[in-house]
Chain A
Amino acid sequence: MLDPGPAAPRTTQPLLQTVGLTKRYGDFLANDKIDIEIFPREIHALLGENGAGKSTLVKTIYGLVQPSAGELRWQGAPVKLSGPSEARSLGIGMVFQHFSLFDNLTVAENVALGLDGKEPFKAMSARLAKVAQDYGLPLDPNREVWQLSVGERQRIEIVRALMQNPKFLILDEPTAVLTPQEADQLFVVLERLKAEGRAILYISHKLDEVKRLCDTATILRGGKKISTCNPKLETAASLARMMVGTEIKEVKPPAERRTTVPRLVVNDLTVAPAELHGVRLQNVSFELKGGEILGIAGVAGNGQDELFAALSGERLVKEPGTIIIDGLACGNLSITQRRKMGAAFVPEERLGHGTAPRMRLSENALLTGHAASDMVRHGFINAAATLRTVDRTTETFDVRKAKRDPEAASLSGGNLQKFVVGREILRTPAVLVVNQPTWGVDAGAAAIIRQALIDLASAGAAVLVTSQDLDELIEIADRIAVMFHGHLSEALPRAEATREKLGLLMGGASLDQKEAAHAAGA
């Protein structure tokens, strides 16, 4: 078949169409009368912020969620999908954002679970190896998933979907966990799938990717469809405006940053893995001065959580001198003692780690602030002081909530994250360690948080930011280092830290080949 090209007139009928699709959870409209048409040989982007209704829409298309109203049409005919297996039998495949894989099963078993099971296991296993080879996505069917890298895990998902020879493939934020180079490889595969006549629904919030890859884009906001457009004719700014609805405040970098003395020094930190499939930190060293933001990039699961645990004191290290805060060796000191020294910590998980979900904000403020504030006196809680902290955080960081002191779990992701970061920043820490400061947060909240981190550094604090979002690090960090298999690279000054260089480091390029191969196989 000849490729008619992206601009070909749409004489064909849509492969998949939703008409007035609505999904209601109680009073909440997750999807409100959404009309969308997807044609064969098209890569269709679905754009929107967290909570815009993208996931609900694709779950409905994949049969996981039943619509409250409206209908789904497949090749022009209305269909009702009672479950994913029915969607799969029509020819709809899905690659999940949070991989739907089973860590303790083998690659072949994982793939088998995604198929209808009519094929004998051995034959399926052989076909799996062939399909993987054919699309340039090498996989060993007999390895257990927990041994594999994130990129390899995604390959399983994609190969599993391809094994069904789908006409229509849904990819939910496929590049969120990939290095830029791995993403490029994925795009080659997607272009090929499109050339084979398949349709692809591509969910993302990375606008440059969408402009580069997609033929059509549908933008959702607050559960409603805002527009369908050709992303190649739009600018990143115009797409962002449609996604967010308002102009986003630009984050202002500091005019000139003055660095002072080293405030956080890590010397040759080696920590054994805490969990079964954890990562060992290997000789991690860096020095962070006051007035400076150091960014740590890397694909998730390369030791970032272990580093955070060691820095915060959730895990103690034997030699105190491996972690030095403001000149004091504290590797063996508890998290409370470190807080008293002026350090503050914001973990990645805001619900469950950063806050106790069922406790009020004032109680959550107390949980990290009790050591170094007026919130506790002679062992008794000063309720007025905890409420004052909540009010101050709310005002300064524009935290939106239904009442003065609600449960942490009742806040939206962005607002809770503003509270968690704000709670620490208002203590004017000497050292702030923050992990994924804007993960899953809407663009407006992300801008406020980033600006607050920059301002904190400008005021003389040392700020360590770990993030998977390269654009975020390039925007706010003075220097960027990369974590790979528990090793931390040299920090690159911002001017030298291009996406390409960082991407190579994230893939382990700086290590010598043997060590990298060993680490990958361990």
Chain B
Amino acid sequence: MGNTTSGYDESGHTSGSSSSSRRSSLANNQTATRNARSQTMNINNTVSSRQRRASSVVGSLLTGTSRAGSSFSRNYDFSNNTDMDTTRTGSSREKQVNKENHYRNLVVKYDECVDGGFLAPYGVHDDEKKLDYNDTTVRQLIIGRKLQPFYLPLEDYEENELSDEELLKILRSTLLHQPYPEDIEKFEDLPGVKNLSKAQLEDASNIDSYIDYSSSKSERKLKKSLIFAARLYKLKSIWQQDENERYLDAKNSFSANNMVSNDKLLLDLYRNGDECPICFLYLPKNFNYSRCCYQPICTECFVQIKRKEPHYQNSHDENELTASEDTIETLVSECAHCPYCATPDFGVIYEMSSSITKTGLGSGTLPSEYTVRTEEKIDSSDSLVQNRRRAQSIPANHKSVVTSDMIRPDWEANLSKAKLKLKKRFAKANTIHMNNRLISSDENDKMKLIEDEMIERAIRLSLAEQPQ
């Protein structure tokens, strides 16, 4: 019995030789990520392009800026590189590997089961931008019973309306993940995506063969990243389909020794369910509760709540035109607030229902062998959730609290990145501005000067939006 769960290390990642080949490749990818990172730091493989760049005014000014911004350099371990571009070029593959691993960890796998729920979301909120939480952390927290597992949600549920058989039938026929929309418009006309096998899609090295090399460098880069994104989108749904099939096989196999929850577990969970106040979906009642005002929230909704994008502290319209170099330091990242009572530093506590015994990962029991619904604990004095009903809010740094920042620890890095990006923008705009002044200095034409102002404005705008 212990065999099934021993394939997982504490981090919630698949490990060990008992896994299928797909899984071990996942582990390999993570090693690859680490390797890629160390290489990035040591190898300066774009020296020639750097020199070329440095010959232009803009380029040299920029290099100067990135040196001046040394505090940022240190934050990012760029200190052994003088040119930001070196690192960026080197890290794009690393980024891709990280992203691919992230997407793999967003696939719901039936045998990554914790107390009848899972380690990845069902897809209630299917905006990918908001699934950018740290998947390793969340998986760990779920296995450590610090967050409610991702449960399959029920659309409609009225107590007493369904017989046990009907309820089970619905639960058993629910897919592990909401079906993905087939084709989305933004990926419509991209080459190198349609009619490719899974293996071809997974092999990022063939993307180059779909790129038109007569196009400009930035266009090629854009195209490449678009193809990569489109493939990942498609792969995610293929990976999930594979998992759905594995789940189906496991359900149909008559061996009771597996990670499929048995009837008793499902009934104990879903007969005691409730609606999440955010998504209005019906889930087992062992919700996460806000640390401040003791309101329930399911994990699928919890992971959606995050800091806002960095913005100017004092400006309410964030007009790019009024922004100046001096305002960069006023760029702030505002912490996530409780959706119910607006308390800052949103955090939740989770205590699994005391009447359900632990099963699946991080327990000694297979979900297929769940038998007991333990007696309600008589002494609940150590229960934070119970005590919370009468007591004050629990501080954000309490060991049982999972905050929004904990599952997105990269917010500080993102804020620094945003500031750095702005600094570079202003540096560029200033250079171009100076160049224009030089050109027009011997002309007395007033119109010309006015036009310069307009150009400058336009360029500033252009820089404001340039992809990094």
A, B bound:
no
Binding site for B on A (CB under 8 A): none
Binding site for A on B (CB under 8 A): none
